[in-house]
A and B are shown apart, each in its own frame.
Chain A
Amino acid sequence: MTEVLLEARNIGKKFGGVQALKDVSLTIRRGEIYGLIGPNGAGKTTLFNVFTGLYPRDGGEVLFAGKPLTLESPHTVAAAGIARTFQNIRLFGNMTARENVMVGRHVRTRAGVVGAILRTRAERAEETAIRRRADELLHYVGIADRADALARNLSYGDQRRLEIARALATEPQLLALDEPAAGMNATETAGLRQLIEGLRKDGLTVLLIEHDVKLVMGLCDRVAVLEYGEKIAEDVPEVVRSNPKVIEAYLGTSAH
Chain B
Amino acid sequence: MGWTTKEKVGLACIAAALIALPFVLAMAGTAWVRITNFAVLFVLLSLGLNIVVGFAGLLDLGYVAFFAVGAYVYALLASPHFGLHLPFWAILPIGAAVAGIAGAVLGAPTLRLRGDYLAIVTLGFGEIVRIFMNNLSAPVNITNGPKGINLIDPFRIGDFSFSANSGALSGPIKYYYFLLLVLLAVIVINRRLQDSRIGRAWVAIREDEIAAKAAGINTRNIKLLAFAMGASFGGIAGGMFAAIQGFVSPESFILNESIMILAMVVLGGMGNIWGVIAGAVLLSFMPELLRYTVEPAQKALFGKMLVDPEVLRMLIFGLALVLTMRFRPAGLWPETRHKRELDADRK
Contact = CB atoms under 8 A, between A and B. Distances in A.
Interface in B104-153: none
A24 interface: no
Given A75-B218, A150-B340, A106 B200 contact: yes
Nearest to B189: A117
Interface residues of A, number: 42
A95 B210 contact: no
Given A90-B211, A107-B217, A117-B192, A127 B204 contact: no
B163 to A, nearest CB: 31
A54 B217 contact: no
Contact of A95 (B193, B196, B214, B337): B337
B210 A103 contact: no
A213 to B, nearest CB: 26
B232 to A, nearest CB: 10
Interface string A123-147: 1001100100000000000000000
Nearest to B196: A116
Interface string B292-316: 0000000000000000000000000
Contacts of B198: 111-113, 116
B201 A103 contact: yes
Contacts, number: 112
B208 A90 contact: yes
Contacts of A107: 215-217
B344 interface: yes
B211 A113 contact: no
B199 A106 contact: no
Given A54-B210, A91-B208, A113-B193, A99 B215 contact: no
A191 to B, nearest CB: 23
Contacts of B196: 111, 115-116, 123, 127
User: Chain A contact residues: over half helix, strand or loop, or mixed?
Assistant: helix
Q: How large is the interface on B (under 10, 10 to 19, 20 to 34, 35 or more residues)?
A: 20 to 34
Contacts of B216: 74-75, 78-79, 83, 104, 106-108, 170
Given A106-B200, A113-B225, A75 B213 contact: yes
B197 interface: yes
Given A79-B216, A170-B215, A170-B216, A92 B197 contact: no
A95 B204 contact: yes
25 contacts: A52-B214, A74-B216, A75-B213, A75-B218, A78-B214, A84-B214, A90-B208, A90-B211, A94-B340, A99-B200, A99-B203, A103-B201, A103-B204, A103-B215, A106-B216, A113-B225, A115-B196, A116-B192, A116-B195, A116-B199, A117-B189, A117-B192, A119-B192, A127-B196, A170-B216
Interface of B: 189, 192-193, 195-201, 203-204, 207-208, 210-219, 225, 229, 337-338, 340-341, 344
